Structure 1
Amino acid sequence: MVINRKVRSRKLNTRVDLTAMVSISFLLIIFFMVAGELRKPKMMDLGVPDCIDEWQGGCYRVDELRVLTLLLDDNNKMISYRGLLYAPVQNPKEVKYGKDGIRKELFNIDRKIHEYSARMGKPEIGVTVIIKPSKKSNYGNLVDILDEMNITGINSYAIVNDFTPEETKLLASK
């Protein structure tokens, strides 16, 4: 006697492993978050020197009493003067790097400028430093000056690379 039995195939339990899909999803989420953050525009404040005299919201004379210029040259040579070179408030002089040199000078000048600004009615205004490294100066000197700006708390400074002929003569003579 033969019995017809149907052979039934065994149904396998199908299971999908989603571990890789979750990992890729998190990587994509992180990528788009970082890309979105990097896409935002970054801005830097523009510091414009205050004026002594104002007319109709404009400025036609910069307060040269607040400007300190530092000329950087080779062999750790630095010359500073206040005001404009053709009419300096403080005559050009050679200053050394370090705590007893430029740092002391910056603290003193910033204190004097704050006192001067307080008499003018704006005590929050300090010194504006113009840093002019020559082509012969090294990168380390520029970093040292920027460190001094940070240590002294002077946040109004600019790095300028154009020298006037008078400044070039001044560097050559001293």
Structure 2
Amino acid sequence: MAEIQQQADSGKGGKKRAKKMSTKIDMTPMVDLAFLLLTFFMLTTTFAKPSAMQISMPVKPKPEDEQTELKASLAFTVLLGENNKLYYYEGLLDQSVKPELKASDYSANGIRKVLLERRARQPETVVLIKPEDKSNYKNMVDILDEMTITSQKKYALVDITKEDSDLIKSSGL
């Protein structure tokens, strides 16, 4: 606590002066209280919980002879390009048929609108997501978020083919 110390009389004669009092404050109880409060608030605070996106992992692949072919009418291909660019086309890329490549973006009026319109027309759509080597990770996460937002039941991350890369280069978009 606090205590007051009095100075002894110096023994000189003359005028009587008021005695000087010095104070000494013991800080130990205040430090104890500060640590108790700090400990209390640290233990009672809820920390931010990490948020994780749910992703369904595929089952073991079937042997080649048991796999079913994907129909071109059910396929919808999304190509992730460099510099945050996004391209898509309907169907599968075939030697005989060159699909019409369209550009879009990651906004609500971009790929989300296209995916919702496609799902309304063809509920069994399978979306093939093909990121280029120069596309960034954020774009892949964004397109996976769009799959969740638009409630796509079937989608797959697939390696981009040389034909898809050539289609992007030749399109001029």
How much identity, in percent, do the aligned residues show? 39
Structure 1: state its 5+ residue gaps.
1-42, 49-57, 115-125
Q: Within 5 Å, give how 1:5-84 maps onto structure 2.
A: 44=57, 46=59, 61-84=69-92
**Paired residue secondary structure (1:157):** strand
Q: Give RMSD over aligned pairs.
A: 2.5
* TM value normalised by structure 2: 0.57
| Change beyond 3 A, Cα 1:47–1:64 | farther
Q: Out of 70, 95, 108, which is 2:117 matched to?
A: 108
Counterpart check, 1:142 vs 2:140: yes
Q: Out of 161, 167, 170, which is 2:167 matched to?
A: 170
Mapped to 1, the partners of 2:67 and 2:105 lie a distance apart of 35
| 1:155 Cα offset (Å) | 2.5
| 1:46 Cα offset (Å) | 3.9
| 1:165 Cα offset (Å) | 2.2
Which 4+ stretches in 1 moved above 6 angstroms? Answer: none
| Change beyond 3 A, Cα 1:47–1:71 | farther
Mapped to 2, the partners of 1:93 and 1:104 lie a distance apart of 14
**Paired residue secondary structure (1:99):** coil
User: Deviation string for 1:48-76 (max 9, x for gaps)?
Assistant: 9xxxxxxxxx6664321111111101111
Mapped to 1, the partners of 2:110 and 2:143 lie a distance apart of 11
| Change beyond 3 A, Cα 1:60–1:140 | closer
Report the structure, 1 or 2, having the larger strand content.
1
Do the aligned partners of 1:77 and 1:94 also contact (CA within 8 Å) in 2?
yes
Do the aligned partners of 1:79 and 1:93 also contact (CA within 8 Å) in 2?
yes
Do the aligned partners of 1:129 and 1:157 also contact (CA within 8 Å) in 2?
yes
Mapped to 1, the partners of 2:58 and 2:134 lie a distance apart of 30
Do the aligned partners of 1:130 and 1:159 also contact (CA within 8 Å) in 2?
yes
Counterpart residue type for residue 142 of structure 1: M
| Change beyond 3 A, Cα 1:75–1:46 | same
Q: Based on CA coordinates, which of the two structures has the bigger radius of gyration? A: 2
Mapped to 2, the partners of 1:47 and 1:107 lie a distance apart of 29
